[in-house]
Amino acid sequence: MSAFLEHVERIWEYVWIYVSSIPWGSVVEVFILYLVIYTILKGAKGSRFGQALAGLGVLAALLFAFSYLFHFEVLTRIVQFILIYIAVSSVVIFQPEIRRILMTVGAFGFFERPKHRPDGSVTPEYLVETILELSKIRMGALIALERGISLRSYEEAGIALDAIYSRELIQSIFTPPLPLHDGGMVLRNGRIASAHCIFPVSNHPDLIAHGMRHRAAVGLSEETDALVIIVSEESGAVSVAHNGRMIRLDGDSRASSLLRWAKKALPEDSRDRGLIKYMTTPLQRFFAKMTKGDRK
């Protein structure tokens, strides 16, 4: 037993010597450099600045490799000076593209999260903001968020849209007496798939006092796993229907409750998963509180 413990201690000594010999400062520098380069390339993708940056990178790599192989010191210095002048002039030439890259960096959400994700799908925060606005002006709405079970069979009588979610478009659709205001709307993968859809009506006895909009929401939730959000036209009350049950959201916690439901139903953003989320969430909440205090 003592020999085994000595063997384990010797292994741990080797491991500690190896870990202590790692230049952690260099590792952090490489990680920061990777984040900077990745952000620049992601923001420049598909733009004129991105094409120029790729061409410049290839040309500089070829010139440096050619100069290094054949030991052309003068040519190497000339290339270095040219690259410096190009870098300075690119700030003026590609000013709009650089501004867009900086806006992309700001979209990571330390101050205010964007309304849409990179793929065009709506964020849960913007969805909740729109629903509360409809509730404030007492505009009736019926929105079904598709999950695992497809809702295409209920869209046959509706109007296909495949549109990007926006507050103005939602209000235009549900404003009576416009053609699409009657019926329900289907959100698929965070986009408006269709409107003016017909949902099955529930015959549950507890819904006798409710209108057709609420009964249709519960009926759809009985047959599918969709999350259905209802805004009452008479009172402006917000309710959600799920698994055949209707839950009315009241009080000061209405926004937070609706946000939790929306996050469960909407497709998850890749930035909301993993270690980065747990590292950045406290900072996001702190800066959000600071900005709200400044606005007040």
Output the 3-class SS for 234-284: CCCCEEEEECCEEEEECCCCHHHHHHHHHHHHCCCCHHHCCHHHHHHHHHH
Phi, psi (rounded to 5 degrees) for 271: -75, -15
Model confidence band, residue 134 (pLDDT cutoffs 50, 70, 90): very high
Q: Would the pLDDT of 192 be above 90?
A: yes
Q: Comparing 289 with 159, which gets the higher pLDDT?
A: 159
> Which band of pLDDT confidence, cut at 50, 70 and 90, is reported for residue 119?
low
Q: How far is the C-alpha of 260 from the C-alpha of 157, rounded, in Å?
A: 31
**57 pLDDT exceeds 90?**
no
pLDDT category of residue 96 using cuts at 50, 70 and 90: low
Q: Classify 193 as helix, strand or coil.
A: strand
The more confident residue out of 183 and 1 is: 183
Task: State residue 100's pLDDT score.
Answer: 62
User: What local confidence, expressed as pLDDT, does residue 113 receive?
Assistant: 55
| pLDDT score of 278 | 45
Q: Which residues contact 254 (CB under 8 A, 6 or more apart)?
A: 132, 238
- What span, in angstroms and rounded, lies between the C-alpha atoms of 133 and 55? 48
pLDDT at residue 111, rounded to an integer: 45
254 contacts 248 by C-beta, under 8 angstroms: no
Please check whether residue 197 is in contact with residue 186, taking contact to mean a CB–CB distance below 8 angstroms. Answer: yes
- Looking at residue 270, its pLDDT comes to 46
The answer, yes or no, to whether residue 156 has pLDDT greater than 60, is yes
Question: What pLDDT shows up at residue 4?
Answer: 66
What's this model's pTM, rounded to 2 decimal places?
0.56
Distance CA 289, CA 296 (A): 11
Sheet containing strand 191-197, strands side by side: 159-163, 191-197, 184-188, 141-145, 227-231, 238-242, 245-249
Query: How far apart, in whole angstroms, are the C-alpha atoms of residue 133 and residue 135?
Result: 5
- Which phi and psi (to 5°) does residue 89 adopt? -70, -25
Residue 135 — very low, low, confident or very high, per pLDDT cuts 50/70/90?
A: very high
* Residue ranges of domains in the chain, CATH in brackets: 2-106 (no CATH), 124-268 (3.40.1700.10)
Give the per-residue pLDDT at 120. Answer: 67
Least confident of 22-26, 44-48, 145-149: 44-48
> Which residue's entry shows tokens 């702190």?
286
**Tens digit of each residue's pLDDT (9 = 90 or more) over 33-54:** 887 777 666 666 656 666 777 7
Per-residue pLDDT, 127 = 93
Query: Which range has highest mean pLDDT (5-9, 12-16, 218-222)?
Result: 218-222
- Of 243 and 49, more confident: 243
Contact partners, residue 149, CB within 8 Å, separation at least 6: 224, 225, 226
End-to-end CA gap in the chain: 68
- Predicted local confidence at residue 36, as pLDDT: 75
- Average pLDDT over the chain, rounded to an integer: 79
Residue 199 has pLDDT above 80, yes or no: yes
Q: How many CB atoms lie within 10 A of CB 163?
A: 14
Tokens of 35: 């984040």
The residue to which tokens 């010139």 are assigned: 63
CA 196 to chain centre: 27
Residue 186: band (very low, low, confident or very high) from pLDDT cuts 50, 70, 90: very high
* Rounded Cα distance, 134 and 83, in Å: 54
Higher pLDDT, 279 or 131: 131
Q: How confident is the model at residue 27 (pLDDT cuts 50, 70, 90)?
A: confident
Q: How much of the chain, in percent, has pLDDT values that exceed 70?
A: 74
Predicted confidence band of residue 248 (pLDDT cuts 50, 70, 90): very high
Instruction: Output Rg (C-alpha) for the chain, integer angstroms.
Output: 28
